[in-house]
Chain A
Amino acid sequence: MSDQTITAHPPSSAKPARRPVKGIWRQGWQRFARSRTGMLGLILVLLVVATAVVGPFVAPFDPQDQSPMIDPGAKAPPSWVHPLGTDRMGYDVASRVIYGAPTALAVGLGAMSIASLIGVLVGGFAGYRGGTTDEVLMRFTDFFLVIPMFVVILAVIRLLGVAVVNTPFESVPYLNLGVIILLIGVFSWAPIARMTRAEFLRLKNQEFVEAARCIGATSGDILFRHILPNALPSLVVIVALGIGGAVLAEAMIGFLGFGDPAAVSWGQLLYFNYEALKVAPWASLSPGVAIFITVLGFNLLADGLTDAFNPRAKR
């Protein structure tokens, strides 16, 4: 301990005069930049994002284009025209993988936005109010933690497929995908709520929050100016981790054949091609690697963010 305090006191009292001004975020970024795993994660995530944004313009084939079926045929090995080969149904694998990126990101970001919204509201309310409110909300949260998410999602998708037939909903584009995103979100908020509650509980009795109360700041001021910004770093970490989890969950749903037939998703590509794994390994390995890179990227990013914002947690 005293190792740090040595620079904290007398000899360094002039330190502020030399160092440029730094906020917690800037400081966090500097620490993040020094974390190798974090930077690797960031690079991987940026790679996926770039693919999602630029990919559709540079992809050689349309995702629904089955013309390669004729030449060079289905399950063709990689070639100049088809760098990752073609799959069982004659699609160009490279193009399908590229078009899968926006879907994966939509699932990850969409589901986690929903989860964060619910989680922060429920957890924040529980943590700030405390007492019975806290008790009730946290039991509700526990309930969501113990529900087997996949069983519910698969059941809902199957029922939905039957229920929308001959209704106006049938024409809603990407309805299945939207429902998957919504359901993953609805089943992932519980950890976020728990983390938010813990942070709010910790922060609401901190002296600087009491100082604000002494000054006469309103509850809104205290919540949104003092508590939430200080809780954000921990939340950012758990949300980044959650994005990877959501991408993986969607891939699993797709792999089980419950994905959105209209959307191009890596899980579905695996589902279509795993039977031909021995004949055309490229067709199932490529989406697999894409899933791996994305999930790994977000997990490493979360790891780096932990390093950046809770430097003491690891030492």
Chain B
Amino acid sequence: MSSLATAKPTAAMSIDDRSMLTPPVHDLVRVENLRIQFPPWNAPVRIIEDVSFQVRAGETMGIVGESGSGKTLSSLAILNLLPPPARITGGRIMFDGEDLAAKSQGEMQKLRGRRLAMVFQNPGYSLNPLMTVGAQLGEILKVHEKMPRSMALQRVEELFRLVGITDPGSRLSQYPHEMSGGMKQRVCIARALLCNPALVLADEPTTALDVTIQAQILDLFEDLKARFGMSMIFVTHDMGVVARIADRITVMYAGQVCETGDKHAIFARPSHPYTQALLASTPRIDRRYAIDGEGRRERLPTVGRAVAPGQSLGGGCRFAGRCPEAAPECSRLVPQAAAIEPGRVVHCLKRGSAGVASHD
């Protein structure tokens, strides 16, 4: 754990330090072998294949991946909000000792917004344009907490102040279109926090915002985490954002988990070839890119082979087609979880994973 010594101590780290000790603090959410499929059902498209990860109480799990990695679907599955043709066809989602995957929509309705809350990528789409923000948020409290109107508005105003909305009292009577993008996202965050949820799912909540506003919102998330101690699943494609906000990280590629582990360990010693490539190929603001005397500049390392030869959502490791280390069996056998360090799991045949033939 030498890299941890160089890391600056943060509030988040203390949680992780505890979790490094065995036995770990209890898992709030345990996603086990989750499988999500799309029709046609006689030959289903396996969008999410055997995805497992845990979120501990009070920690932020960052799910990183590119478009199509299944990071968003996995988090929507926890809320039972999969887009219509998609279906959970296997695995469990354990939350508070109950399997969310087995719950009915009605039961989930009661959990959503209360124990589980969501912050979406585009705050503009997730607010009702015809209602004032105060009325929208108050409505939630009326439904979930049976709170009278005046009390609900008071609580909303209090939360507005907490999420850094200036002049919260007068904002209550504003419509979403009267607010900037950053302000709307603050409203959405306040909405997520209304009922003191145990788990907040944030799906790319800063991607649609400008960088200076993104920095403010990330600060806000850190502040709220310290204040409320809720668990969070933070879905993003941005390695920089996840380095800031997460405690632990799950890296996904094409519907499979590549590796899971403590943030510091993954950034310091990425194990899965995909994580390694992803980190290497991200251009960085904190380093110089050399230009030689001829005006030639250095190049960014790219992920494995540039263009993949075939193999989409088939069996085996789905990164095999682009992996620089791939062996023939990689495209045949699905790599299982292998523990490489305490609290770290990698799915790669070249890193000691057992391989299981794809079941179909």
Contacts and interface: CB of A to CB of B under 8 A. Distances in A.
A17 B310 contact: yes
B67 A11 contact: no
A10 interface: yes
Contacts of A14: 307-311, 321
A11 B312 contact: yes
Contacts of A18: 310
Interface in A1-46: 1-3, 5-15, 17-18
A10 B254 contact: yes
Contacts of A6: 47, 68, 70, 254-255, 313
Contacts of B67: 2, 5, 8-9
B307 A2 contact: no
Contacts of A10: 66, 68, 253-254, 308, 321-322
A9 B313 CA distance: 11
B310 A2 contact: no
Contacts of A5: 67-68
B38 A3 contact: yes
Contact of B312 (A1, A2, A3, A15): A15
A206 B70 CA distance: 30
Nearest to A2: B72
A9 to B, nearest CB: 5
A3 B39 CA distance: 11
A88 B182 CA distance: 76
Nearest to B303: A10
B86 interface: yes
Interface string B230-255: 00000000000000000000000111
Given A9-B67, A10-B66, A11-B318, A2 B73 contact: yes
Q: Which label, helix, strand, loop or mixed, suits the secondary structure of the A interface? A: helix
B307 A11 contact: no
A2 to B, nearest CB: 5
Contacts of B321: 10-11, 14
A18 B310 CA distance: 9
B83 interface: yes
Interface string B76-93: 000000010110000000
Nearest to A8: B68
Contacts of A1: 83
B72 A7 contact: no
Given A3-B38, A3-B83, A6-B255, A11 B308 contact: yes
Contacts of B311: 11, 14
A13 B73 contact: no
A56 B47 CA distance: 57
Contacts of B253: 10
B277 to A, nearest CB: 11
A252 B66 CA distance: 59
Nearest to A12: B312
A195 B307 CA distance: 41
A31 to B, nearest CB: 16
B160 to A, nearest CB: 30
A15 B313 CA distance: 12
B66 A9 contact: yes
Contacts of B313: 6-7, 11
A17 B322 CA distance: 16
A223 B66 CA distance: 37
Contacts of A7: 68, 312-313
Contacts of A12: 312
B305 to A, nearest CB: 10
A15 B70 CA distance: 19
Contacts of B309: 14
B70 A2 contact: yes
A152 to B, nearest CB: 41
B66 to A, nearest CB: 7
A11 B72 contact: no
B47 A13 contact: no
B238 to A, nearest CB: 16
Nearest to B84: A315
Contacts of B47: 3, 6
B76 to A, nearest CB: 9
A195 B145 CA distance: 48
Given A11-B254, A11-B313, A3 B73 contact: yes
B54 to A, nearest CB: 23
Contacts of B38: 3
A14 B320 CA distance: 14
B68 A9 contact: yes
B50 to A, nearest CB: 16
A241 B312 CA distance: 41
A219 B310 CA distance: 42
B334 to A, nearest CB: 14
A10 to B, nearest CB: 6
Nearest to B254: A11
A269 to B, nearest CB: 48
A83 B22 CA distance: 90
A211 to B, nearest CB: 23
- Point out which of A5, A6, A9 has the most chain B C-beta atoms below 10 A from its C-beta: A6
Nearest to A315: B84
B47 to A, nearest CB: 6
12 contacts: A2-B72, A3-B73, A3-B86, A6-B47, A6-B254, A7-B68, A7-B313, A9-B67, A11-B68, A11-B254, A11-B308, A11-B318
Given A2-B70, A3-B38, A3-B85, 4 more contacts: A3-B47, A5-B68, A7-B68, A11-B311
Interface of B: 38, 47, 66-68, 70, 72-73, 83, 85-86, 253-255, 307-313, 318, 321-322
Interface of A: 1-3, 5-15, 17-18
Give me the 5 closest cross-chain CB pairs, A-B, nearest first. Answer: A11-B312, A6-B68, A14-B310, A5-B67, A9-B68
